[in-house]
Structure 1
């Protein structure tokens, strides 16, 4: 990580001709289990990972804002007074959306100066590891510090969520920002998306001799696309038809009534969310009582539900999961919103290389591009680095 801090300092100087006031960072995340439950007021169990986005930032003496990054050539410039979802497009909407959202959530943007910002990251883009939330949360903690806003972490979760939903236009829940801001080493964050209550759950992966292998299929996805929005709309329609405020209010015992009431597709969407909430609760219980070696079957069941009921998997993700299961993983599933991105596999440490070799062979045999594979550990959330 020290190399990335040096890189983001150097990038800032190259683009803006001076030194940054400081560097802040925020992690991407892996969602261990609990997919598409967050915007249904349900339960999720993500953890922050040791892949981070770094934000070098300096305050200006005027109202101007300039943002640049290692992954785009242009420097985007705008005045604070002109910030709106209509005036900013592309990658710059993520950091600038945070500044706008801080104003929407109570910060007096008329009383703060502009800034120069440079971003660098080793969170893969489009891999389902929430590179977008890593940007939002790094910028949120940076501006919270330099503008002296004194917002707590829970408030910053709301800022990042508003930026992604209302500025970028991606109808996501609060899972990603919560993991990026609240993460702890060797722990997952058990989040109730209705009450916003959180609890740190020890993972104990190292003690159990287990690794989390990320398999990035290279199939990119966009949260703002129609598939994600359609799934959310189906969930809302199902809840309305069944007479509940959100699918969180349903249990597995309600599924027989749902089957009789809903059309086939809407029922499958509802069944995924209801059973996935139950799987999250079971995973938390097993982690507490037996440790991570006991949760493999729940990961496998989650993937089947996402593939068959929610229909957000793709052939590359299914191949990654099946191959990992066949060559030593105790459990595997797609992670993230779907339509591409990554799978995760919970693998005994001594079998990681065996699983990787098998995946290389399977992807080549099917004519798919070589997957990017790496292990991750649970890391701390967003903070100031320098």
Structure 2
């Protein structure tokens, strides 16, 4: 008995009842338009005093509701109402406007059903409770054959007069049952009619892929810029500490290099954080490029005690901006790996040249025992591979006899 009462009058049933009444309220303007159409055909009968004409007005208004449901806001608003009032999970409903013929057709069908069921239940909710209340209190205010009962001749009989309260309660239970049944049907149909279509799922997947691509790009930028800066600063500080008493001039240059490195890295970090905050970074420092910033990169790397022999066989100013920017990050990561793994006192060879329409970058350093490893590292080479793949190039990295060699080949033309 308790379960039956909860089914008809529980919190979920009451919320779904409210959802239906809202549908009835939304249906009223369309019913009025239908009444305008039906009025001239009613032979002088008042539209709102005839049940048949009211139903005809209702039937004319529902197709109009289906047409107006094509507005973009219909599906988001209906989905929100279903989510809060019908108890349907948000993961089973679509959020944005309906796109495509299938989604719009489903939305129109749902809106028509909502207003149709809602109009019927709302009309019953207005008419049935007063009638049921009269039946329930009738034995208290009138008796069998009472003239105040008017045309209700059935109540001239004692049995009908005695059963009037039972009939009133039955009418109320019928109303509650109709509202609960209609609400349950709409809740069951909502995922099929308001849920995401294959086009919606594809658009959501593309949006997630685009967001993931942006996150990966920002992660690469942070890894390459901040990772290189920390490695270079660590090496420069370590070298300066060892010769603090014997070579003050070298210490002075190392401190200057540390200051310059951190200042530039803060600027790059601000640019990346600006993208994270606002989706854009107006007014921030531009990303470094091979043409404008390679000399500074080599100077800061050498300030840490690493010997870098650079051979530049290409006009860097003529490189496309995207290629120049990505190539700078590749060179930066190659030197970072050499700093991190080759240690101090070794010679790193860098060659940048254009050959057969491709920009070739080669970084070589002797294979030695690592001077120190960073926990959680190991993302440098995958980052280089990702940048190279996006530009349509190739990457080869690995030991060659007693030398570690990184070779990157990038097309100079527009990236695919």
Q: TM-score, normalised on structure 1?
A: 0.19
Computing the radius of gyration over CA atoms, which structure comes out larger, 1 or 2?
A: 2
Name the structure where strand makes up a greater proportion of residues: 1
Quick one: higher RCO (CA 8 Å, sep 6+), 1 or 2? 1
Q: TM-score, normalised on structure 2?
A: 0.18
